[in-house]
Amino acid sequence: MNFKSIPIITLLTTQILLGQPEEMDPETTSSDKSVRGAFGAVTIDGKIWNQIALRPVLPFGKLSVALDLVIYIDQDGNIHDDEWDFSSGEKVKNTIIDKIYYIRYGSRWDKNYFKIGALDNVTMGYGILLSNYSNTLLYPQVRKVGMEFRTHAFGVNMYGFTNDFKENLGLTGMRLSAPISYGFTGGVSWVGDRNQYLGLKDSDDDGRPDLVDDFPDNRNWWLDTDGDGWADNDTLNEFDVDGDGWTDSSFTWPTWGIVIDPDGVSPKPEPINIKKEAESFNAFALDIGIPLLREGPISLDAYAQYAALLGKTIHPINAEEIDAGYGIIPFGLSAGFGPAKLNFEFRMIPKGNFEFGYFNRSYEIERATFQSISGNQGTIITKASKLGTYGKQNGFYSSLNIDLGSLFDAGLAFQNLKGEQYNAEINDFEEASNQSFTAILKLKKTISKIERASWFYQQLNVPNPLDFEYSESTIMGYNVGLKLGNGMVLTYVFRRTFQDMNGDGDVLDEDEMINMTGVETSFSF
């Protein structure tokens, strides 16, 4: 069966699939002291590893701490040492951070709340900038420990988040909101990515991304000009850096009978060091809202939003740097009818170069990638650089979330903008559709042996998301948990994402489809 024909059936989970195991979610974990554990198998970088994990939960009133002590072992008995690396001060810090499953105070909707750990479905305000962001999309290949908090002081509501302490506040956001007058509430939000290049994978934390690092697992070496397996700076073994057959002039042994390279040494150029080079991107938003109706289970609210992206993008025709744009939602309506919640927004991009919900669930994938890699050189394509493909556009967005009794939660969201869109085939802008679609279905109660199940599908900013022409914004998959008895649950997880590894504008090439599967048996005692 062609998988492209069934993404609506096999959607994708919003929690486990996009993050860490659901049974350890802080909103669902018991306040009692316990030790939870798991064993099974998981895919990391295309390789299957056996997993053994202990996750003790330590409650202290409204404060609870959970650790994640996990070991991955391959079929040859080798341990995946990224989670247990103490080779440098930075690695020690990251290893300790990775052991935090969560630290939580209060519940997510309390006035005073904070959480350190996995972040799922993070939205600020009405979502014009930050909408359903997750830092767990690439888990367990990439483990991120972020933070979000909420507090209320002096009549002002404050909210903030950061994506990963290992990035030293890479992606960070803050929001302030307060009543104004006549029943209105106003808010201001800011989100900043201090270095988009941090989205490039750097396994050994030497600052050189894996795709341009000749030794991606050794932080001391990164250049091998002649490809002989010896690093250029390995002076004990490498005597001919450029592989021309002549001994390098840096050779310090007695030189009797040795002819020093007469043409000099020509090493490969240094790859980018993302710890020293950076490209930041910032954005801010303003919003105002007012309740119109509160009548039993019926509610009605109106709101408006404005957001500006403060950075540079690339004009797709002349390749010049231009300013990113702004977006306006002059009218939005949120209605609640008992178990159903409906949102409708009219959306405008007056001058182009803008994307609604820019920091979204797939942001960590789209954040940065390489184009046209040659040797250890390549052009970095950031998500911000692609904003130039959006021209002036107008349209609407609507969403429906519904509680289907005690059995299911379901959600649908659809955006339809029309206007100018860059077409690479004609190298010009044309009138086109810019559509997005998201669907969610989650089981709320146990059915027979099925403890839990959830599905999710996302496709953003494409001509027609129901054509299922995949892009980096595409996320799909499912999660099913089966009761085995004696408190044990067998969980199967499937997640499919896509990444444009060569920067050619599509995700059709080899290795650009990323599948993650996992089978885990969990227990507690």
Strand partners, 35: 56
CA distance 57 to 296: 39
Contact 192, 283 (CB under 8 A): yes
377: tokens are 């050189």
Give the residue carrying structure tokens 């609506």: 8
Band (21; pLDDT cuts 50, 70, 90): very low
Q: Is residue 163 part of a domain?
A: yes
Residue 27 pLDDT more than 60? no
CATH number at residue 76: 2.40.160
Residue 72 pLDDT more than 70? yes
pLDDT of residue 414: 97
Looking at the 3D structure of the chain, how many domains does it have? Answer: 1
Residues sharing a CB contact under 8 Å with residue 266, sequence separation 6 or more, in sequence order: 225, 242, 244
pLDDT of residue 525: 66
Q: Is residue 149 part of a domain?
A: yes
**More confident: 460 or 29:** 460
301: tokens are 């609210």
Band (236; pLDDT cuts 50, 70, 90): confident
Residue 12 pLDDT more than 60? no
pLDDT of residue 241: 81
Q: Is residue 228 part of a domain?
A: no
Give the distance, in angstroms, between the CA of residue 271 and the centroid of all CA atoms in the same chain: 25
165: tokens are 């302490």
Residue 251 pLDDT more than 70? no
As to burial, measured by CB atoms within 10 angstroms (0-12 exposed, 13-18 middle, 19+ buried), residue 295 is exposed
Tens of pLDDT, residue by residue over 165-191, are 988 889 999 999 999 999 999 999 999
pLDDT of residue 159: 96
Residue 426 pLDDT more than 80? yes
341 is in which domain, residue-wise?
10-195+279-524
Residue 388 pLDDT more than 90? yes
Band (225; pLDDT cuts 50, 70, 90): confident
Q: Is residue 519 part of a domain?
A: yes
- As a whole number, mean pLDDT of residues 129-137 equals 92
Per-residue H/E/C for 356-414: CCCECCCHHHHCEEEEEEECCEEEEEECHHHHHHEEEEEEEEEEEEEEECCCEEEEEEE
pLDDT of residue 302: 97
Band (25; pLDDT cuts 50, 70, 90): very low
pLDDT of residue 97: 86
Strand partners, 336: 299, 341
Contact 324, 282 (CB under 8 A): no
For the chain, state the CA radius of gyration: 25
CA distance 176 to 124: 10
Residue 87 pLDDT more than 90? no
- As a whole number, mean pLDDT of residues 2-21 equals 35
Percent of the chain with pLDDT over 70: 90
Tens of pLDDT, residue by residue over 496-522, are 988 887 667 788 887 788 888 888 787
Q: Is residue 265 part of a domain?
A: no
Report phi then psi at 353, rounded to 5. Answer: 60, 35
Residue 254 pLDDT more than 60? no
- Of 39-43, 113-117, 127-131, the range with the lowest mean pLDDT is 39-43
- As a whole number, mean pLDDT of residues 132-157 equals 89
Tens of pLDDT, residue by residue over 331-352, are 999 999 988 999 999 999 999 9
- Of 145-154, 217-226, 308-317, the range with the lowest mean pLDDT is 217-226
The DSSP code for 266 is -
61-75, 122-136, 259-273, 395-409: which is most confident: 122-136
pTM of the model: 0.86
Contact 491, 24 (CB under 8 A): no
pLDDT of residue 512: 85
Q: Is residue 434 part of a domain?
A: yes
CA distance 241 to 249: 10
Q: Is residue 134 part of a domain?
A: yes
pLDDT of residue 6: 32
Residue 317 pLDDT more than 70? yes
pLDDT of residue 250: 66
Band (22; pLDDT cuts 50, 70, 90): very low
CA distance 326 to 48: 44
**More confident: 33 or 469:** 469
Residue 284 pLDDT more than 50? yes
Residue 23 pLDDT more than 80? no
Give the number of other Cβ atoms within 10 Å of residue 47's Cβ.
11
